[in-house]
Amino acid sequence: MNPTPTRDINREPWTAGVTAALIRAGRAARRLAEETGTPFIVMVDGKIVDLNAPKARRKRRAKRSK
């Protein structure tokens, strides 16, 4: 069985904007996490990673030094 390429999935009218909407939602979630200093958890290469952790640590250190 051959997997269906991603471009073939978007032949249905109701799925036309799904990929773009998911990308926009991910970017908005990342921005919100950065602004509020909350974790942004994703899976990278099969591992759960907080992409916001290094930025949060830098902000805390900067606040302590003031």
Higher pLDDT, 50 or 63: 50
Domain ranges in the chain are: 6-65
The pLDDT of residue 55 = 60
Q: What is the reported pLDDT for 58?
A: 56
pTM: 0.57
**What per-residue string of b and e applies to 26-52 under the rule 16 or more CB within 10 Å gives b?**
eeeeeeebeeeeeebeeeeeeeeeeeb
Q: What angle do CA 33, 34, 35 make, to 5 degrees?
A: 95
Give the 3-state secondary structure of residue 50: strand
pLDDT digits (tens, 9 = 90+) for 48-58: 999 888 765 65
SS3 (DSSP) at 2:
coil
